[in-house]
């Protein structure tokens, strides 16, 4: 069984951008939805909605409440979760890959889309 959230929980995670440096995932769910175990590398999380979740990793369990518009660091981890609130969850994850050198011919300025 894959621990890649896009493969293990395709109803909730989708890839919105990927290159050799990062993968950006969009996550959505509804109240009562649960995920199966999956893992994230070091990531930056940005909340697009306010939500409440229960996160479980091994014997550890934690309830979190996040406001919309919060950016935060998510260290590499394996977990599963449940939406325990009364609002839908909408989050972007920017997963970091091994750091590489700037692409040849790139000025390093401005967004690159592809």
Encode pLDDT of 51-89 as tens digits: 999 999 999 999 999 999 999 999 999 999 999 999 999
pTM across the whole model: 0.84
Tokens of 22: 């990062």
Q: Indicate if the pLDDT at residue 7 is higher than 70.
A: yes
pLDDT tier, 6 (very low <50, low <70, confident <90, very high otherwise) = very high
pLDDT at residue 110, as a whole number: 45
CATH code 2.60.120.10 for 5-96: yes
Lowest-pLDDT choice from 9-18, 33-42, 95-104: 95-104
State mean pLDDT over 89-109. Answer: 72
Give residue limits of the domains in the chain: 5-96
User: In angstroms, rounded to a whole number, what is the distance separating the alpha carbons of residues 15 and 25?
Assistant: 5
Tokens of 17: 């951008």
User: In angstroms, rounded to a whole number, what is the distance separating the alpha carbons of residues 79 and 62?
Assistant: 11
């Amino acid at each position: 069984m894959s621990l890649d959230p896009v493969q293990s929980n395709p109803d909730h995670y989708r890839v919105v951008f990927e290159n050799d440096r990062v993968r950006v995932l969009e996550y959505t769910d509804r109240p009562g939805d649960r995920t199966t175990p999956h893992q994230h590398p070091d990531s930056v999380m940005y909340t697009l909605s306010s939500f409440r979740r229960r996160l479980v990793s091994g014997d550890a369990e934690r309830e979190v409440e996040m406001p919309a518009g919060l950016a935060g660091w998510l260290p590499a981890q394996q977990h599963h979760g449940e939406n325990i609130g009364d609002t839908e969850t909408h989050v972007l994850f920017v997963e970091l890959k091994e750091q590489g050198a700037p692409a040849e011919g790139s000025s390093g300025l401005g967004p690159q889309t592809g």
